Protein backbone atom coordinates (compact mmCIF):
# COMPACT_ATOMS: atom_id res chain seq x y z
CA UNK A 1 0.00 0.00 0.00
CA UNK A 2 1.36 3.40 -0.96
CA UNK A 3 0.19 6.96 -0.71
CA UNK A 4 1.20 9.57 -3.18
CA UNK A 5 2.35 12.96 -1.99
CA UNK A 6 -0.22 14.74 -4.12
CA UNK A 7 -3.14 12.95 -2.43
CA UNK A 8 -1.79 13.78 1.04
CA UNK A 9 -1.37 17.44 0.14
CA UNK A 10 -4.81 17.63 -1.43
CA UNK A 11 -6.48 16.05 1.61
CA UNK A 12 -4.56 18.05 4.25
CA UNK A 13 -6.49 21.33 3.94
CA UNK A 14 -9.86 19.63 4.11
CA UNK A 15 -8.77 17.59 7.13
CA UNK A 16 -7.70 20.78 8.91
CA UNK A 17 -11.00 22.45 7.99
CA UNK A 18 -12.96 19.50 9.38
CA UNK A 19 -10.94 19.53 12.59
CA UNK A 20 -11.50 23.26 13.16
CA UNK A 21 -15.20 22.98 12.32
CA UNK A 22 -15.67 20.47 15.15
CA UNK A 23 -14.02 22.72 17.75
CA UNK A 24 -15.83 25.37 19.74
CA UNK A 25 -14.49 28.90 19.39
CA UNK A 26 -11.83 29.77 21.94
CA UNK A 27 -13.22 31.72 24.90
CA UNK A 28 -12.19 35.34 25.17
CA UNK A 29 -9.85 36.04 28.09
CA UNK A 30 -11.50 37.95 30.92
CA UNK A 31 -9.64 40.69 32.78
CA UNK A 32 -8.66 39.67 36.29
CA UNK A 33 -8.65 42.21 39.09
CA UNK A 34 -5.76 41.73 41.44
CA UNK A 35 -6.22 43.65 44.67
CA UNK A 36 -2.49 43.68 45.36
CA UNK A 37 -1.67 45.47 42.11
CA UNK A 38 -4.72 47.75 42.17
CA UNK A 39 -3.58 49.52 45.34
CA UNK A 40 -1.35 52.56 45.26
CA UNK A 41 0.72 53.45 48.31
CA UNK A 42 1.14 57.20 48.77
CA UNK A 43 4.12 58.73 50.48
CA UNK A 44 3.56 60.77 53.60
CA UNK A 45 4.08 63.98 51.61
CA UNK A 46 1.57 62.91 48.95
CA UNK A 47 -0.98 62.05 51.64
CA UNK A 48 -0.49 65.51 53.19
CA UNK A 49 -1.06 67.17 49.80
CA UNK A 50 -4.13 65.04 49.17
CA UNK A 51 -5.75 65.92 52.49
CA UNK A 52 -4.86 69.60 52.10
CA UNK A 53 -6.41 69.67 48.61
CA UNK A 54 -9.53 68.04 50.03
CA UNK A 55 -9.88 71.08 52.29
CA UNK A 56 -8.51 69.81 55.60
CA UNK A 57 -6.70 72.26 57.84
CA UNK A 58 -3.07 71.79 58.83
CA UNK A 59 -4.07 70.87 62.38
CA UNK A 60 -6.50 68.21 61.11
CA UNK A 61 -3.89 66.72 58.76
CA UNK A 62 -1.29 66.65 61.53
CA UNK A 63 -3.68 64.89 63.85
CA UNK A 64 -4.92 62.31 61.35
CA UNK A 65 -1.39 61.41 60.15
CA UNK A 66 0.25 61.63 63.59
CA UNK A 67 2.54 64.44 62.45
CA UNK A 68 3.44 67.77 63.96
CA UNK A 69 1.94 70.90 62.45
CA UNK A 70 5.50 71.99 61.65
CA UNK A 71 6.03 68.82 59.59
CA UNK A 72 2.76 69.36 57.69
CA UNK A 73 3.68 72.99 57.04
CA UNK A 74 7.07 71.81 55.78
CA UNK A 75 5.47 69.38 53.32
CA UNK A 76 3.18 72.16 52.09
CA UNK A 77 5.95 74.79 52.02
CA UNK A 78 3.90 77.00 54.29
CA UNK A 79 5.57 79.44 56.63
CA UNK A 80 4.43 79.52 60.22
CA UNK A 81 5.05 83.25 60.62
CA UNK A 82 2.08 85.35 59.88
Provide the residue ranges of all domains of the chain, joining segments of one domain with +. 39-82
Task: For 27-62, give one letter per residue: b (16+ CB within 10 A) or e.
Answer: eeeeeeeeeeeeeeeeeeeebbeebbeeebebeebb
CATH of domain 39-82: 1.10.10
Number of CB atoms found within 10 A of residue 8's CB = 10
Q: What is the predicted pLDDT for the residue at 23?
A: 73
Is residue 80 within 8 Å of residue 70, measured between CB atoms?
yes
Q: What is the predicted pLDDT for the residue at 2?
A: 57
pTM as predicted: 0.51
Average pLDDT by stretches of 10, the chain with 82 residues: 55 54 72 70 94 97 96 90 59
Q: What is the predicted pLDDT for the residue at 43?
A: 94
Amino acid sequence: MSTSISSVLLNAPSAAANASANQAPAPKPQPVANAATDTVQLTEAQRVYQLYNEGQKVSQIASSLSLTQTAVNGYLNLSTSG
